[in-house]
Amino acid sequence: MTSQSRFRPANIVKWVFLIAVGLYFFLPMAAMARFGFQSVPTALLTPDKLFTGWSFSGLWTAITDAHMVSGMKTSLILVVLAILLNLVLLVPLAIVTEVRNPRLRPYLTALTLLPWVIPPIALVVGVAATFRATVPWFLASVLSLVPFYALWSMPFTYRALDAGLQAINARTLYEASRSMGASFWTIIFRVLLPNMRASMVAASTLTAAMVLGEFAFASLLLKNTLPTEMVIYQAKNPRGGLAFAIFIMVLTAVAIGLVVRSLRRQGINFNATGI
């Protein structure tokens, strides 16, 4: 690239735009991090105090808080169960649709988008009314969130699985296996599932990220999950609460990065899984 083309007006606009968006995105987070990890009140922050008073003490108080610990435990259990329920429901559905009834695929794609069209409040009110009248004990348990979370992350999960099936050309693999005499179950367990590992990991990562950040359902159903505990905790310890929020964000980013890297190492392209 010559120096002339580098300073073309279009390029300048592009950089200005990128920097503006970057600032819009990162400035609040940087401010959050400063507030969370530096014990200097904002009003007293002068250039000479920029590097004093940094510590993890706020984060540590938050992490060791009994309510936060119990919220974390609950949320991790919910993550695991929501992932399992989602995979158990959607993997067979996606496979059967793709290899046996490809004509149903557009309908299923539209159907799995429904959870995003229906607002959580409507979903909760409707479902809660039904359950309260029929199986009230179900709503009493914190596990009653699992079906909501599975449903709510379905648009991500189904898309990731479907993209994975398209990427491996599942229909041709299915036909090739059949022409070699393989039974339906052999094809599922020996051919399709092993090759869907990447998309299942992608689907699970998305479900986990969604469950760890979900507030509306938990709050409406009066359950104490990590996000609801965080809101409560932030009210009594703003510094620790924000430090914890930054911590969770970094943790999630690192986790997703590690998953992508391990998949790349196995020669699996994460882009092909729909993310």
Partner 1 sequence: MATVDMAGIRKTFGPSVALEDFSLSIASGELVCLLGPSGCGKTTALRILAGFERPDAGTVVVEGRDLSNDPPEKRQFGMVFQDYSLFPNMTARQNIDFGLKVQKRSAAERKEIIDRMIAVTALEPHADKFPHQMSGGQKQRVALARAIATSPKVLLLDEPLSALDAKVRETLRDEIRRLQLEIGVTTVFVTHDQHEALAIADRVGVMSNGRLEQLAPPRELYENPANAFVASFIGTVNKLPAEGLDDGRWRVLGRSVLSTVTAAPGATNVAAVRPEQVAVDHADDGTAHVQSASFLGPITRVIADDDTLGRVIADIISADAVGISPGQRVRLRLRDDVSDIVLIGEE
Choice between 107 and 184, CB closer to partner 1: 184
Least separation in angstroms between residue 194's CB and partner 1 is 4
Angle CA(201)–CA(143)–CA(247) in degrees, nearest 5? 55
Choice between 136 and 267, CB closer to partner 1: 267
Least separation in angstroms between residue 94's CB and partner 1 is 17
Per-residue x/- track, 124-163, partner 1 (CB under 8 A): ----------------------------------------
**# of chain residues touching partner 1 (CB under 8 A):** 19
Choice between 34 and 178, CB closer to partner 1: 178
Per-residue x/- track, 63-102, partner 1 (CB under 8 A): ----------------------------------------
Choice between 6 and 190, CB closer to partner 1: 190
Binding of residue 178 to partner 1 (CB under 8 A): yes
Among 75, 177, 205, 225, binds partner 1 (CB under 8 A): 177
234, 76 contact by CB (below 8 A): no
Choice between 123 and 202, CB closer to partner 1: 202
Instruction: List residues near partner 1 by CB under 8 A.
Output: 168-169, 172-173, 175-183, 186, 190-191, 194-195, 267
